[in-house]
Structure 1
Amino acid sequence: MDVPVVYRASPYYAGLNDVANHGVDRELYAPGRPGSTSGSGRSSERAGDERLAMAGGSAAAISWPYEEYLLARGYAVVYAESLGSGASTGCPTSGGRNETIGARSVIDWLNSRAPARDGAGNPVAADWTTGEVAMMGVSYNGTLPNAVAATGVEGLEAIVPIGAISSWYDYYRADGAVVAPGGYQGEDTDVLAKAVHTNDADCRREIARLSAKQDRRTGDYNAFWDERNYLDDADEVEAAVLMAHGLNDWNVKTKQAAQWYEALRENGVAHKIWWHQSGHTDPITLRKDEWLRTVNRWFTRYLHGVQNGVERESRATIQREDSSWTREPEWPAPRAHEVPLKPSSGGDQRGGLSVSARGDRDVTEVLRDDASKRAEKLAAAPSSPHRLAYFTGPSAEPVRISGTVSADLALSFDRRAANVTAMLVDLAPDGTTTPITRGWTDPQNRHSLDRTSPIRPGRQYRIGVRMMPDDYVLPTGHRLGLVVLSSDHEFTLRPDPGTRLSLDLGASRVRVPVVGSVRQWR
């Protein structure tokens, strides 16, 4: 009997090499400024074990918690080592076209469009499969399905990307700023390739090319990153996409899932998302039975062609802060509307934040950058010269935020380069703060991702900061806060302290997508 296939490609089966990350304690790039270098120094931080955990196995014995479940339901399970890893030939390129083609070739083989040979050189035919294929995985193992689906390859009927990347630029950069994945400060495409590769001598030149083309100097978008942007080819996707992502995933940030979801929706691709409250993890560890039931129904519909109606059900399943689960017809919540909140004076301590203007049109407040200070501690501090913080009054009822928060800031700088970081935080009645979301930008990329535009000290600029998409309920009695700072110790490059940022309160806003009324913030 011929059977459909669930296919898992990975660069992690052979484990990870111990490699050093790029140094991040360096000055920022400004055109023509002496000392604006590529920052080739190395940090002591190293690639961690989280990615290996995502692989779920080793070269000696690949294991996967889905295997037994899928085999029992009539699917074959196929494993493949990504190019340049394990026993695979070639070189890893951290999302490059060659990796995509390599992973796609397995689907071509499963559909008798490409030859294959065993270790002895004998031809091997996939004459046991129907040719209907699904790809599935977490992190890099979930990114490869996105990449292959974006080629429109025939035979790939469904994918399940979990905590996966849709644009590698947004994994290692943020609006022109060099920004790390959470927990991997100083990592970049070349570091990741070194971590997974097993063909050292053959791949040195290719990895050197990654180091040059990724451009840690300016952080600008270029052809290198465009090759790794699967959003550009969302109109080619034919596979039905069931994705899952952690609302607290700061490794592969929520933007990756949100923008992929939106691109698929705009192009009429069958789509569904699970948002959970954990970080960079698989929902099988959180809600095993219901998640497996959903995956099975997705595969039954798209690999077996059974009309079970799964595609007509709610497209968003969201875990709430109390661990309960809710459903929405789409995401962000269709009833969400944008609420502009305006800051008022006192940001060195805790200024105000409200819908109505506070008469602070001519007020400018100043912060001084210090990259050694952690953003969470700055947000929690009752006062600090290194950040500006503005809070609403206590909420009279729970307020749900669903979508992307954006800060529109009127800023001037006393130096030619600076990081800009904006955070949204939850201030509880007992004074504790919980970061909700944050975002970063390089003001030199205020006009375009692919072009650096110099900033002139003392001149005011409109700087937009789009924070990571979120779905969060602010409890009754809590206050919503905007925190503005410069460098973010855990994520951005860390220049010497002292850069001064001046915020014009009357010309600044934070726009929050809210479900329901915000009368109490007027």
Structure 2
Amino acid sequence: MHIRTSFPYETAHEDVLIPLPDGTRLYARVWRPLTDEPVPALLEYLPYRLTDWTAPRDWQRHPWYAGHGYASVRVDIRGHGNSEGIPADEYAEVELADGVEVVNWLAAQPWCTGKVGMFGISWGGLNSLQIAALAPEPLKAIVTVCSTDDRYDNDMHYRGGSVLAVGMHSWASTMLTFASRPPDPAHVGQAMWRDMWVKRLEAMDPFVHTWLSHQTRDAYWRHGSVCEDYGAIRAAVLAVGGWHDPYRDTVLRLVEHLPGDRVRGLIGPWSHQYPDRGLPPGPAIGFLQETLRWWDHWLRGRDTGVMSEPALRSYVMDAHPPATTYPSLPGRWVGDPAWPSPSVTPISYALQGAPVQVRSPQHTGVEAGRFRPLGNDADLPPDQREEDARSACFEFEVPEETWVLGRPRVTLRLTSSTPRGQVTARLCDVAPDGASTLVTRGALNLSARHGRDQAVPWKPGSTEDVVFDLNAIGYAVPPGHRIRLSVSSAYWPWIWPQPGSEAGFVLDPTGSTLELTVRARESMPSTPSIGFEEPEESEPLGVAVTTTLDEPRPERLVVRDVGAGTWRLEVDSSGGTPIGGTRVYPDGLELTEDARETYTIDASDPLSARARSAWSVRLHRPDLAWDARVSTTSDTTCDAQDFITSCEVICKDGDEVVFHRTWKKRIPRAAG
């Protein structure tokens, strides 16, 4: 990583309040080049608190853009950070309407040319797409990283029509904690912060209530899903993803459905991170320089050659032994002129053998790895041999090197004795020594087999063919290895188990197939050559991290109670602070976070599933004698009829409790 200290422009930054039509003001930080000429503006729009939580990351890129002649602006959405107003659900209409107002406000500033771009990762990438679909006139281009075009089937809530236990629960508890954090008196004033905080807290309702109340792909999920109408997007779109990010399919769909003269796709080996940050797996690229080419083309009218690049640039990873982290993965970049690519051919493999009863233990899935990897040491799936042993497996020889690029598909002929259940398929690369590396996977709620917008119970005893896609991947399987398709009836804690699913199903290989999207091999390097500059960023903010002498706890710990037959997965989900550590910012703010998720299940009982999260946050300014604390717990269990949720929030100003509320709710299991 190169730290850039010299730029074409000197820069300055200031914090401002952006007015909205209803009188609410959004807190923003603006980095600008010191020039008398107006410049284009770039917007990143998030709920993640620009004065503390994302500040280190913001300083890596916003000053860099300003140094290259752009006004780079980071804005906290309504009700978060130091912005006024009440928090809303994710991607609510008010959030998107506010975003349009911010785009228009930026374009109207005397220092702006009237042309605006948006960028962001995850939440910021999603609302960039969604605001682009609202088509404010000044918004000419976006860069959307690790985002989704489909809020129902390609986000943190559901997958294949099944409840994502590890996604929905953890994300709901995380956002409950974020929404509970106070404004900072150093920025909003000591006379205002507490009143703003209490108003927010009194209006809160845990997101999990809403998300679990919409278990099929209804109007709630169609809102904000740009796949409903790709044609609404008028801005140019650079879509970026990573093969170790759960949202990567969106890149392929955007390249497929948006006009080829204003879309480009880029997929590397990365996790859920910006590709310049150097977090595993690499290799990292000069992503800021790549986006500068995009902005210069679309916002300044310069010929940077960015639209001469292939429509899709993707990294085909070489085979690698299973591990939970990789500093860098070998492979090669390939370019395709369109998606679907003329160089990709679907090849079907027929499953062989007699019908097999698939009755996976309920803890199948404990070796799945983190749903949304962030570059941590324990994020990725370990050797899959134990998971394969809990599944029905079918293997295929690889006589020559085979490049898989795209979304594999399975057709499975199933007979179920119960009306509800789920099926998970994993594609693994099996080395000659037997090591099993997870390549990709997919899941289907059997009640969603006729469409994600409906729940159709299975007629007990009947046989049907079900078809579903696995997540997209770029992977080269070498000769001498075997491709293994592993099929299970459980996948906890990714997939919340259905009542009665312990009975499993019968899988008949006759009529069942695995379809691989096989790309034509080409010489290395690719022709024309695809390359990137070395990664660089602006100078870091200078946040110090203090730690204690406490023994560090594991990032992911699996505990088996042999006598009780239960399995427990414990996950550290802290927001970037070492356990027991505190981040100390240059302005004196001290931020301490601690979070732990626990997922338990009885190997034989799908109704024993339980997810629990506990967060504690302290925001402390010694110079202002400010000491705010937030503690949240979230718990989800189930019976055959309902999900049962319990959430608690305790907020303190020093030793004084300013808010304490508990929510308990039963939500019918309509489909999940």
With over 3 angstroms needed to count, the CA separation of the structure-2 counterparts of 1:383 and 1:203, relative to structure 1, is: closer
Q: CA deviation at 1:258?
A: 2.5
Aligned ranges for residues 362-511 of structure 1 at < 5 Å? 363-374=354-365, 379-381=384-386, 384=389, 386-393=390-397, 395-495=398-498, 498-511=502-515
**Stretch moving more, 308-317 or 130-139:** 308-317
Aligned ranges for residues 142-291 of structure 1 at < 5 Å? 142-170=125-153, 171=155, 172-180=157-165, 184=167, 186-187=169-170, 190-191=172-173, 193-197=175-179, 198=181, 201-202=199-200, 207=205, 210-215=207-212, 219-250=215-246, 253-265=247-259, 268=260, 270-286=262-278, 290-291=286-287
Greater RCO (Cα-Cα under 8 Å, separation 6 or more): 1
With over 3 angstroms needed to count, the CA separation of the structure-2 counterparts of 1:289 and 1:491, relative to structure 1, is: closer
Cα distance per residue 1:122-169 (max 9 Å; x no partner): xxxx21111111111211122121111111111111111111122221
More strand per residue: 1 or 2? 2
What is the one-letter code of the residue matched to 1:279? S
Residue equivalent to 1:94? 90
With over 3 angstroms needed to count, the CA separation of the structure-2 counterparts of 1:481 and 1:237, relative to structure 1, is: same
For the residues of structure 1 that align with 2:237 and 2:466, how far apart are their CA atoms?
34
- State the secondary structure of the residue aligned to 1:249: coil
For the residues of structure 2 that align with 1:449 and 1:373, how far apart are their CA atoms?
24
What is the one-letter code of the residue matched to 2:98? G
Cα distance per residue 1:409-449 (max 9 Å; x no partner): 11112222111111111111110011111111111111121
Contact 1:9 1:80 in 2 (8 A): yes
- State the secondary structure of the residue aligned to 1:64: helix
Contact 2:275 2:285 in 1 (8 A): no
Counterpart check, 1:130 vs 2:128: no
Residue equivalent to 1:49? none
Residue equivalent to 1:33? none
Match of 2:69 among 59, 71, 74: 74
For the residues of structure 1 that align with 2:231 and 2:174, how far apart are their CA atoms?
29
**Stretch moving more, 300-309 or 426-435:** 300-309
Q: CA deviation at 1:193?
A: 4.0
Residue equivalent to 1:115? none
**Stretch moving more, 331-340 or 76-85:** 331-340
Contact 1:15 1:196 in 2 (8 A): no
Cα distance per residue 1:34-80 (max 9 Å; x no partner): xxxxxxxxxxxxxxxxxx5xx354xxxx8331123211211011111
Q: CA deviation at 1:331?
A: 4.0
For the residues of structure 2 that align with 1:435 and 1:399, how far apart are their CA atoms?
16
For the residues of structure 1 that align with 2:223 and 2:160, how far apart are their CA atoms?
17
Residue equivalent to 1:8? 44
Contact 1:426 1:481 in 2 (8 A): yes
Contact 2:448 2:454 in 1 (8 A): yes
Match of 1:513 among 517, 539, 554: 517
Contact 1:175 1:442 in 2 (8 A): yes
More helix per residue: 1 or 2? 1
With over 3 angstroms needed to count, the CA separation of the structure-2 counterparts of 1:369 and 1:86, relative to structure 1, is: same
What is the one-letter code of the residue matched to 2:169? G
Contact 1:373 1:489 in 2 (8 A): yes
With over 3 angstroms needed to count, the CA separation of the structure-2 counterparts of 1:203 and 1:260, relative to structure 1, is: farther
With over 3 angstroms needed to count, the CA separation of the structure-2 counterparts of 1:408 and 1:56, relative to structure 1, is: farther
Contact 1:333 1:402 in 2 (8 A): no
With over 3 angstroms needed to count, the CA separation of the structure-2 counterparts of 1:12 and 1:2, relative to structure 1, is: same
Residue equivalent to 1:299? 295
For the residues of structure 1 that align with 2:100 and 2:72, how far apart are their CA atoms?
16
Counterpart check, 1:342 vs 2:350: yes
What is the one-letter code of the residue matched to 1:220? T
CA RMSD of aligned residues (A): 2.6
For the residues of structure 2 that align with 1:92 and 1:142, how far apart are their CA atoms?
18
- State the secondary structure of the residue aligned to 1:294: helix
Contact 1:421 1:465 in 2 (8 A): no
Contact 1:214 1:224 in 2 (8 A): no
For the residues of structure 2 that align with 1:144 and 1:336, how far apart are their CA atoms?
31
What is the one-letter code of the residue matched to 1:260? L
Q: Which runs of 5+ in 1 are unaligned?
A: 17-51, 113-125, 346-362, 518-522
What is the one-letter code of the residue matched to 2:288? L
**Stretch moving more, 95-104 or 404-413:** 95-104
What is the one-letter code of the residue matched to 1:215? L
Q: Which runs of 5+ in 2 are unaligned?
A: 1-36, 182-196, 318-329, 369-381, 522-672
Contact 2:312 2:337 in 1 (8 A): yes
What is the one-letter code of the residue matched to 2:141? A
Q: CA deviation at 1:111?
A: 2.8
Contact 1:425 1:435 in 2 (8 A): yes
**What TM-score results when the alignment is normalised by the length of structure 1?**
0.77
Q: CA deviation at 1:378?
A: 9.5
Q: CA deviation at 1:4?
A: 0.5
What is the one-letter code of the residue matched to 1:4? P
For the residues of structure 2 that align with 1:328 and 1:193, how far apart are their CA atoms?
38
Q: Percent identity?
A: 23
Contact 1:422 1:465 in 2 (8 A): no
- State the secondary structure of the residue aligned to 1:141: helix
With over 3 angstroms needed to count, the CA separation of the structure-2 counterparts of 1:260 and 1:446, relative to structure 1, is: same
Contact 1:238 1:269 in 2 (8 A): no
Residue equivalent to 1:21? none
Contact 2:142 2:237 in 1 (8 A): yes
Contact 2:42 2:71 in 1 (8 A): yes
For the residues of structure 1 that align with 2:217 and 2:198, how far apart are their CA atoms?
28
For the residues of structure 1 that align with 2:99 and 2:86, how far apart are their CA atoms?
12
- Give the aligned length: 435
